[in-house]
Structure 1
Amino acid sequence: MVGYALWRFVLLRDVVAFRRMWWLFLSGFVEPVFYLFSIGIGLGALVQTVTTDQGMVVSYAAFVAPAMLAASAMNGAIADTTYNFFFKLRFAKTYDTMLATPARPWDIAVGEILWSLIRGGTYSAIFFLVALVMGFVESWWAVLAIPAALLIGAAFAAMGMWATTYMTSWKDFEFINLVIQPMFLFSATFFPLSVYPEALQWLVRLMPLYHGVEIQRGLLLGDVHWGLLVSAAYLAGLAGLGLWGASRRISQLLLT
């Protein structure tokens, strides 16, 4: 069994554990949908149109919807690779048992991240259907929206898991909220990047969610440009870095 892709059994364990809790999959897209209705449509009645950073003029709701799609992917990734992962690592000792088998820390990290992608992808798919029915999908490029959501989820899942390995108590999750909430509000989510002060724009460009929003906005609105490839490469780099860091930390915590 050594060298075999044992991450699939880590993934299967999560699937079996959640088979009676499928209704939890409905929770992750609720918050973005509420934001879409309250801000995208409610505030959109006053703002009406907005000009994107690429010069497109669209309705405010159509501008906000892609950002909420990116947020759905982020929510699904963060839910499983932070809170749930921390419980299994520090309290349930789930991974101690797994590492008594031929499974390696790499298998644990890959299996848990893939499960978070299933959850985040489900959130994103449901939200995408809502946006499609409401008429906020304006381009055939949107067929790539779900794969893009999986890329966004992979970046947040891997980096979130890596960060969680350094946490020692539930209080430490305040740091997660301290990062995620401002990122959600200021990643060009509700307003174009151009309205931010120039000094703040550089900070926004470092945020992973900003790049996720840029990709989804470009795909749903048909505003496809080379900058989207840069954003995709940025997210892919974060996913790879987080996966390496998380598997290394799991090894340090449980095998040394």
Structure 2
Amino acid sequence: MTTLPTLIDSPSAGPVPADQAGPVRRVLSLVERNFMIYRRSLTPVVFGLVEPVLYLLTIGYGVGSLVGSVPGVDTRYAAYVAPAILATTAMNTAVSHTIFGVFTRVKKDHTYEAIVPTPLSVTDIAYAEVTSAVINALITSVGFLAALAALGLVVSPGVLLAVPASVLVGVAFGAAGLAATTYLRDFADLQLVQLVMLPMFLFATTFYPLTVYPRPLQPFIEVLPLYQSIELIREPALGRFPATVPVAAGYLIVFSWLALRIAIRRMGPMLAR
């Protein structure tokens, strides 16, 4: 069982007792622990990149050869779906960390049994896990962005805004995943996560515009966090900056705050079980 050190190294002042370290340093100590584990295998990172690239090649180019240009957007189909797949990449990476990763550490590895007795609080643990999820989401998003550039799917310099946008998407879904994890009872419940994620992936305008839906259904699509994430990334990537972009950013900020509050409130009893 891995335990956190009781001392946190300080480059300027030497080791500092963990109970005297500030909250940022306590959080970073757990983030460092997570990435010490991750560096043993590049498989999660590689898989996180391979899956979205396959979606892009099979749907973006395969279906795109039948669709041509997207009506009302005046861009080829592959370039239209690419930013949406980038948003889903950030989402899936963050959720994978804070649901599958955290739940495994709770139920199988019992990692937190060694962490809870240390000076790290439940809030520190929550922030550290979300931070780790965001870093993972950022790595896969930048990798996928590089793939878009290599495939010639960069339409506008605004696509560079996908980097900070993927951070916000990672925070939102990392926090949401952490909150959802507190409701899971056993590994069979992980199937319920896919029951939510897959329909959202399919219906949140990943592969087609919102206008394909009947008008009465459109408000239900617009409240999906993935839809707002796609809006935040897709519009600047296509060189457009409508009012929906700051609205999407505000939505994700509020969503992140609410999800993180729920996660912190419920993690105490979960870790005590």
- TM-score when normalising by structure 1: 0.95
Structure 2 residues not aligned, in runs of 5+: 1-18
User: Which residue, 43, 61, 72 being the options, matches 2:63?
Assistant: 43
CA distance in structure 2 between the partners assigned to 1:236 and 1:213 by the alignment: 15
Percent identical: 38
CA distance in structure 1 between the partners assigned to 2:216 and 2:106 by the alignment: 39
**Conserved in 2, the CA contact under 8 Å of 1:211 and 1:231?**
yes
Letter in 2 for 1:153: G
| Matching of residue 13 in structure 1 with residue 33 in structure 2 | yes
Structure 1 residues not aligned, in runs of 5+: none
Letter in 1 for 2:48: G
Structure showing greater radius of gyration is 2
The C-alpha deviation readout for 1:193-252, integer Å capped at 9, x for no partner, is: 001122221111111111111111112111111210110111111111111111111123
Q: Which gives a bigger RCO, structure 1 or 2 (Cα 8 Å, sep 6+)?
A: 1
- TM-score when normalising by structure 2: 0.89
| Matching of residue 28 in structure 1 with residue 45 in structure 2 | no
Aligned equivalent of 1:4: 22
User: Which residue, 196, 203, 206 being the options, matches 1:179?
Assistant: 196
CA distance in structure 1 between the partners assigned to 2:59 and 2:178 by the alignment: 31
Q: How many residues align?
A: 253
Letter in 1 for 2:60: G
Instruction: Give the alignment of 1:1-256 within 5 angstroms.
Output: 1-2=19-20, 4-5=22-23, 6-51=26-71, 55-255=72-272
| Cα offset, 1:2, TM superposition | 5.0
Return structure 1 stretches of 4+ with deviation > 6 angstroms.
Answer: none
CA distance in structure 2 between the partners assigned to 1:161 and 1:62 by the alignment: 32
**Conserved in 2, the CA contact under 8 Å of 1:7 and 1:111?**
yes
SS of 2:78's partner is helix
Q: Report the aligned-residue RMSD.
A: 1.4
